[in-house]
Each structure stands twice: as C-alpha cells, then as structure tokens.
Structure 1
Amino acid sequence: MPKALPVIDMSAPVCCAPVAAAPIDQAAALEVALRLKAIADPVRVQLMSLLLTSPNGEENGGDLATRVGLSESTVSHHLGQLRKAGLVESERRGMNILHRARRDALAALCLVLDPNCCT
C-alpha cells in the first residue's frame, strides 16, 4: 500500500530558511516539494505564465482554456492544484471566476530555493 503524504496547509507562501543555508528538516522539505510538484506540469507552467503576463493581472478560466487549447474542466483542475499549493488565487465575480498568480508565494518559493535569485 502506498504511503500517504501528510496534509499540510499550503495556502500561505512557503517560509523556511533557504535550502542552501543549512540542511532542512523533513517538514520544510515536504512544504517545498509539494509546491514544486504542483507547478511541475507543462500546462501549469503555461497557465502561470499566462497569469503572470496578463495585462490586468487576472484571467478567467474560459479564456485560459482557449489559450492553452484544453477544455475548461481540465484547466479548472490544473488551476485547482495551483490554488491548493497557494500559487494562484481565484475570485468569483458574477458568472466569472477570475484567477491571479500569487507573486508573493512564487517569490517566497524562489527565495527558499536560492536566496540570491531575486536580488
């Protein structure tokens, strides 16, 4: 039987010492790994790119689905995984759900991987 991963709250940006600063413990390694796993898919990388380069900073799921050439339900699944990892936030406005990249969460993840990456 496969080992179940523990459930952790990933809604807040990852916060731990950079992995290059000192060896990290299992809990911190799991937090980083789960966020990296969430973005480790070509469609999710493309969705993040579209959200990060959006002129108004947000996009609805239907437009994203058209731009990546996938169904809305598939894009919704991928956005859900990114949202669960705390990398995307979504807000309902009328009949639309608008999605935004959480730049603070991405910056925190970058800093944990390499504290010199964003300086």
Structure 2
Amino acid sequence: MTDYPAARTLAEQLTALSEATRIQLVHEIAHGPCTVGVLSRRIGAAYVNVSHHLGRLRAAGVLTNSRDGRRVAYSFADGVFTPSQAADILGTLHFGGWRISIGRTAGK
C-alpha cells in the first residue's frame, strides 16, 4: 500500500505531466538537457509559455535546472528518468513505485 505522502507526491508529479505542452517538453528533454530557447523552437511555443511549463515540472520534482552564465539548461531530476536501449522506448520516468515509459515516437 502507498502511504499518503508518497501518494500526494505522485499525484503532484502526474498532475504536472497532465498538460500537452508539458508532455512535449518531457519528450524533448528525454533526448538530453535543453535550454528554454531550444525547447521553445523545437515545440513551436512562446518562450514565456515554455518557461512557465518548465517551472511547473520543476516545482513537482520532475525536472531540475543548471545555470551556465545566462543559460539555464533543464534536465530530469535525479532518479526520475532512465534512458532505454530498446528500439521503441526512449526511456522510463520513475515516480516512486510507478513507471511511465516514453516511446521514441511519442504522439506520432
């Protein structure tokens, strides 16, 4: 059985993922760390919107960021993502005892 604090954390992480733009961002970051500008161009969304969604994912503990001067790169928080060697799976998100696999052609 999952205890309440673990269930609450899982719910917050899943809620953070439950938006189309955030799903696109997670799929892009699964290929490697990215800046807001790069992500904005890749998914065709405004910089300010991408920044907002990345902030939501970071607040939920899905992403982390690192700064190099003025550039901020976003990547998965420790233990959240494991790349896959399978031909059809890009990697797996780990949320406590729950797993979500990301297909290489997610959404296509």
Shift of 1:95: 1.9
Name the aligned partner's letter for residue 48 of structure 1: V
State the TM-score, normalized to the length of structure 2.
0.72
- Could you tell me which of 19, 29, 38 is aligned with 1:63? 38
Pick the structure with greater CA Rg: 1
Percent identity between the aligned chains? 29
1:90 Cα deviation from its structure 2 partner = 0.8
CA RMSD of aligned residues (A): 1.9
Unaligned segments of structure 1, at least 5 residues: 1-21
> What's the counterpart of residue 86 of structure 1?
61
Please give the per-residue CA displacement for 1:11-47, whole angstroms capped at 9, x wherever unaligned. Answer: xxxxxxxxxxx3x333322111111001111111110
- Between the two structures, name the one with larger relative contact order (CA 8 Å, sep ≥ 6): 1
- Pick from 26, 30, 44 the counterpart of residue 4 of structure 2: 26
1:78-103 deviation line (CA, Å, top 9, x unaligned): 00011111111111111211111236
1:41 aligns with 2:6: no
Q: What does 1:2-17 align with in structure 2 at a 5 Å threshold? A: none
Is the strand fraction higher in 1 or 2?
2
How many Å apart are 1:105 and its aligned residue? 2.1
Judging by fraction of residues, say which structure has more helix: 1
Distance in 2 (alpha carbons) for counterparts of 1:108 and 1:85: 13
TM-score under structure 1 length normalisation? 0.66
Runs of 4+ aligned structure 1 residues displaced above 4 Å come to: none
Aligned residues: 89
